[in-house]
Amino acid sequence: MAGDDVESLQTALRALGYYSGPADGIYSIETAEAVRRLQKSQSLAVDGVVGKKTADAIGALIYSDVPNDELMSVAEFAAAPVGPSARPVNPIIVVDIDARRLTVYSEGKPFKSYPVAVGKPSTPTPTGNWKIISKGVWGGAFGTRWMGLSIPWGKYGIHGTNRPSSIGTAASHGCIRMLNSHVEELYNWVGYGTPVKIISGGFGEIGYYRPNLSRGATGAAVKEVQCQLRDFGYYKGGLDGIYGYATEQAVKDFQKDNGLEPTGAVDQKTYDALGIVLAD
């Protein structure tokens, strides 16, 4: 047995400490032994075969194995009251490709976080500011739910999976995979037009706060401004997250053309005009 499914399994087993071999997509003796060790530790039938119970156990272990002290824990969320207060208000979704996490923000604050699978290096998940444009109850490889994204050059979305062992890895063709129980919860919280921010790179965590920016500033917010200015044709420099002369001049030109005071500094009105809803 060989293929992408086995490679995802090996990657997950290695992340959980049960496997130390290569993620080569070959179901070797070492891979089967790693599966047996996991099965034994989880009080499952020890047969070296990855059935539904073993796959679900791997997915659950990957979820619980990822620390995130700043966000609501699984236990805290389970104890939260059922009803309107248990739902995010004005939800915004942020997907961190490097951390392989999807975080739901409520009123600008982290509400709940999930582990996800993202695109492989050969088929990366597109970064940028998108929106949910379609929803559906699917099946098969796409799991139980689908939320399509407004990425114009392909069919990308957030969906479930029939390969729970791939969660926490770079395994997809560009979509964001979630455990079926997680995507069903998310599906009920979000609607058409919900903002989805997909980020990657060492520019810090992205939240709802939009800092005022001027020459000399650095960070994710600067990079986002540069990206938007470039898309509008005002900025020709690199997306380096450094607010230098070229960025300042591009901001001034944009402000002049959009009826704003041409200060060269980014304030909340400039963010609005640029269409930026999320920044560092």
Alpha-carbon gap, residue 137 to 109, rounded angstroms: 28
DSSP, collapsed to helix, strand or coil, labels residue 119 as strand
**Angle at which helices 220-231 and 245-257 cross, to 10°:** 50
- Tell me whether residue 175 is one of the annotated catalytic residues: yes
Tokens describing residue 137: 């109850």
CA angle 124, 158, 144 (to 5 degrees): 130
Catalytic pick from 159, 173, 182, 227?
A: 159
Length of the chain: 280
User: Using N-to-C axis directions, what is the helix angle for 29-41 and 52-65, rounded to 10°?
Assistant: 70
Name the helix (H) or strand (E) containing 36. helix 29-41
* Phi/psi of residue 183, nearest 5 degrees: -70, -30
Residue 13: strand, helix, or coil: helix
Q: How far apart are CA 64 and CA 42, in angstroms?
A: 14
227 is annotated as an active-site residue: no
Residue given tokens 């002369």 in the structure block: 245
Q: Residue 2's beta-bridge partner residues?
A: 26
Q: Please identify every residue annotated as catalytic.
A: 159, 175
